[in-house]
Amino acid sequence: MNAEIITPTAELAQRIGATPRGAREARHLTLRQLALWGFPQEGEVSLAAQQLVAELAANAVTHGRVSGRAFELRLLLLPEGTLRIEVSDARGDRELRYVSEPEGESGRGLILVTLLARAWGVARRDVGKTVWAEIGTG
């Protein structure tokens, strides 16, 4: 469930196979959709959105994967200059956590998300969860 009450001016919603290939597909889809919405490929918005989608989708297909279940990518262009990214996976029984050792091999993804996103969070759903992140579009 999502308590969002702001009506998006444009939206993409796509279910994608929960594989590494699916995670790459999510990033490419984001690049294409943002280009259609008028954001240059090498521009700040497109690059930040691609990085966020790459991290959230990678997490969905590794930590959030449930065998045989797809994940879902949604991109919402909200009024007043916000792009909202939502990545939903089927796994509801795991918390997201920061890994605190800065030298560790894992745990960088959510730190990057924190740095890139204006806000982000996790919302529970009936099945699984949605990890969302928002950036400004200027």
Give the binding site for ligand ADP (CB under 6 A).
55, 59-60, 63-64, 89, 91, 94, 96-97, 99, 106-110, 131
**Which tokens is 101 given?**
């050792």
Residue at shortest CB range from ligand ADP = 109
Residue 40 C-beta: closest distance to Mg ion, Å: 27
Between 41 and 106, name the residue whose CB sits nearer to Mg ion.
106
Residue at shortest CB range from Mg ion = 109
Query: Three-class SS of residue 39?
Result: coil
Among 90, 109, 117, 137, contact with Mg ion (rule: CB under 5 A):
109
- 71-78: strand order across its sheet: 10-16, 71-78, 82-89, 129-136, 119-124
From residue 7, alpha-carbon distances to 10, 52, 84, 92, 105 in Å are 9, 22, 12, 26, 39
Residue 41 C-beta: closest distance to Mg ion, Å: 24
Between 37 and 125, name the residue whose CB sits nearer to ligand ADP.
125
